[in-house]
Amino acid sequence: MSIRLSRRQGFFLVAAGCAAAMGFALYSQYVLQLEPCPLCIFQRVGVIAVGLIALLAALHNPGRGGYRLWAGLGVLAALAGGAVSVRQLWLQSLPEDQVPACGPGLDYLMETSPLWDVLSKVFKGSGECAKVDWTFLGQAMPFWVAVFFVGVIAMQLWLAMRKD
């Protein structure tokens, strides 16, 4: 027996996966007491963006061409979030003496600097972004977020490119 997933159901599934990922992020922050670094926050923004795009696609329920457009937007958001994950993994792989110094918190930067300067400083990363507080199967959280983004990209491309 084969289960056939409509495009609409598939995009709802992507949105639900993003909601679950955000649920785990909030559980990690408030129950496990893992304070998110600036790059973690931007990965969350990527997950939320993908989830909102997928939800809008499912609610809109366009034709095949419309789903391709929605999937393209979702893939772009997932690529951006995945790039942040990879950047954090790179920072975590650096020897301790090469890790950038910890800077001021994201809240302080947002209050005192223009947005472009904040983004520039955040994407350079800092010491708190290189710290590994949690692992699963030997891999840090940004690895699993990157895997999530790869899965979301694959799902959206499959939904957009199938022939029915």
Query: What does the domain layout of the chain look like in residue ranges?
Result: 7-94+128-161
pLDDT digits (tens, 9 = 90+) for 85-131: 998 898 888 887 777 665 556 666 677 777 777 666 655 544 467 78
**Measured CA angle at 89 (ends 41, 42), to 5 deg:** 15
Superfamily of domain 7-94+128-161: DsbB-like (1.20.1550.10)
**Confidence (pTM):** 0.82
pLDDT, tens only, 76-85: 999 999 999 9
- Residue 30 predicted with pLDDT over 70: yes
Alpha carbon distance 1, 109 (integer Å):
55
Residue 34 has pLDDT above 90, yes or no: no
Over residues 52-75, the pLDDT tens digits come to: 999 999 999 888 889 999 999 999
Q: What is the pLDDT of residues 129-138, one digit of tens each?
A: 778 888 889 8
* Three-state SS at 149: helix
